[in-house]
Structure 1
Amino acid sequence: MWFDSWSEIARTAAVGSAAYVALIAILRISGKRTLAKLNAFDFVVTVALGSTLATILLSSDVSWTEGAMALMVLAALQYLAAAVSSRVRPVRAVMTAAPTLLLNNGKLLDDALAAQRVTAAQVRQAIRGSGAGDMTAVAAVVLESDGSMSVITSASVGDGSALTDVPRWPAPSHR
């Protein structure tokens, strides 16, 4: 179907514009955490927000008020979940993945790579991306809860205090 009516086009434009403004306002009010690098929970909320916005835009069965309320509920639940998980360790453990040590003192940890479904080539790419060219000059590569890889060179590891929440750290030569 190519065209229903001008009134449907006008409705989509008007409700879409209002829903867009509402979504921007809700995201600004809910804070930076809503748009931070995504862990699995944040990703689900982001997809739900997008799906809700699409439903508001395309379904005449959903009023703008209902859609705006749905967006507010999702943002409020994400805010509540973030607040609770930042204060209650067991909730945080359920909602966010722990970081994983993939490389320890220049040596790839094959069991960690396999468990996280990461290839050695991806770790080498992260190392190159950090500006290092020698794996033996890298103290640690950590797969973070948002899926990014942090590369800590031996020259910058210092006392390793930034790695205290990474299982399998401290590395034997840093104890």
Structure 2
Amino acid sequence: MDNIFVTNLDSIVRIVVIVPVIYVLVILYIRVIGKRSTSQMNNFDWIVTVAMGSLVASTIILKDVAIVDGALGILLLMVLQYLLTKVMLYSATIRKIVKSTPQLLLYEGEFLPDNMKRERILESEILASIRESGLKNKNQVYAVILETDASFSVIPKENDDEVCFSLADVEGLPSGLKEELKSKGEAA
């Protein structure tokens, strides 16, 4: 059986040299490519982050992976993510393929079971998000939305009759509301 607690001096020196170099390179890449790489994550951001973590770990631990190979792999992942986000700005089709849309889970104090089932969200999770927002019960809520980064947005009811235009890009709206939001947006 190999030594699982003790390693040789070469491995220790290799790790001590590689970790700071990769660390500095990742910081440099993020500064050049942008904050998106470290923001709250939607699905494709998460995939890039996990893959990048794997590349960092492989470069540090595996003797077969040269520092240049690991650094190039990390850079390519971040450049691809950057390019994809640029393409998404101009292509609704690519945006639709890559990025999920927000989903309405509760509307005017009422749960939307079909939307919740589609997103595999429990009532208790929605109630927790309502509590986190400082509200006492679901009847104080205009809408709860599952955002693209898997966080919940809770919009409290207000005393005015304004339509909540921030729901314009949300899926699963009650019939007629999407058209009302669209017409209010065009009137503004």
Band the TM-score falls in, shorter-chain normalisation: over 0.9
Equivalent residue number for residue 171 of structure 2: 167
Equivalent residue in structure 2 for 1:121, among 115, 124, 141: 124
Give the % identical residues: 32
* AA of the residue aligned to 2:78: A
- Which aligned pairs between 1:34-49 and structure 2 lie closer than 5 A? 34-49=37-52
Equivalent residue in structure 1 for 2:18, among 15, 24, 27: 15
8 Å CA contact 2:105, 2:116 repeated in 1? yes
Equivalent residue in structure 1 for 2:65, among 59, 62, 65: 62
Shift of 1:169: 3.4
8 Å CA contact 1:98, 1:145 repeated in 2? yes
8 Å CA contact 1:160, 1:170 repeated in 2? no
Structure 1, 163-172 or 138-147: larger mean CA deviation: 163-172
8 Å CA contact 1:85, 1:91 repeated in 2? yes
Could you state the TM-score of these two structures normalised by the residue count of structure 2? 0.87
Could you state the TM-score of these two structures normalised by the residue count of structure 1? 0.93
Shift of 1:145: 0.7
Q: Distance in 1 between matches of 2:138 and 2:176?
A: 17
Taking only aligned residues, the RMSD between alpha carbons, in angstroms, comes to 1.9
User: Structure 1: which 5+ residue stretches go unaligned?
Assistant: none
Residue 42 (structure 2) pairs with residue 52 (structure 1): no
Q: Distance in 2 between matches of 1:161 and 1:95?
A: 24
Residue 137 (structure 2) pairs with residue 134 (structure 1): yes
User: Structure 2: which 5+ residue stretches go unaligned?
Assistant: 181-188
Structure 1, 88-97 or 159-168: larger mean CA deviation: 159-168
Equivalent residue number for residue 90 of structure 1: 93
Shift of 1:103: 0.4
Q: Distance in 2 between matches of 1:108 and 1:4?
A: 57
Q: Distance in 1 between matches of 2:137 and 2:33?
A: 42
Equivalent residue number for residue 84 of structure 2: 81
